[in-house]
Amino acid sequence: YQFVQEFNGLYNMPLLVIILFAFYSKKATAFGAKMTIAIHIVLYALSKVFLKDIHFLYVLSLLFFLDILILIVVSKIKPDGEFVLNSFDTKVNIEPWKHTKLVASILVVVVILTYAAFSPIGFAR
């Protein structure tokens, strides 16, 4: 389990930074996000090689703030051009799908059967 969590550290921290930065700032750029991911992967991989004695969560907490700094700096150095929203007045069909209730019912039954199959009354005896 811990190995999987350490491996997830390669990408989950920069994604969190990018999503939070995109929510709370209008200055986030795609190039800044790409650079943040690339630099994070390199630094995290180097930390796994050279900082073996330090727990990975401490490394990730440091890289979180470093990722924020990288995203801010790169977005300031290379900002995107002016964004222009092209809005078109198009009509979209919003009628519900005719099989919605049937498929939803089947899905609920499958989930309940799966739960029952892997519960103590099923295979997990």
Task: Output the pLDDT for position 46.
Answer: 93
pLDDT above 70: residue 121: yes
Task: Output the pLDDT for position 28.
Answer: 85
Task: Output the pLDDT for position 77.
Answer: 92
CA distance 105 to 98: 13
Task: Give domain limits for the chain.
Answer: 2-77
Task: Tell me the CA distances in angstroms from 45 to 6, 11, 50, 112, one per residue in order.
Answer: 10, 11, 9, 42
Mean pLDDT for the chain overall: 89
More confident residue, 118 or 99: 99
Q: Are 121 and 115 in contact (CB under 8 A)?
A: no
Q: What is the pLDDT of residues 60-94, one digit of tens each?
A: 999 999 999 999 999 999 887 776 777 777 787 88
Residue 7's pLDDT band (cuts 50, 70, 90): confident
CA distance 37 to 14: 6
Q: Count Cβ atoms within 10 A of the Cβ of residue 87 and give its class: 0-12 exposed, 13-18 middle, 19 or more buried.
A: exposed
Task: Output the pLDDT for position 83.
Answer: 67
Q: What is the pLDDT of residues 14-56, one digit of tens each?
A: 999 999 998 988 888 899 999 999 999 999 999 989 988 999 8
3-state helix, strand, coil in the chain (%, to 5): 65, 0, 35
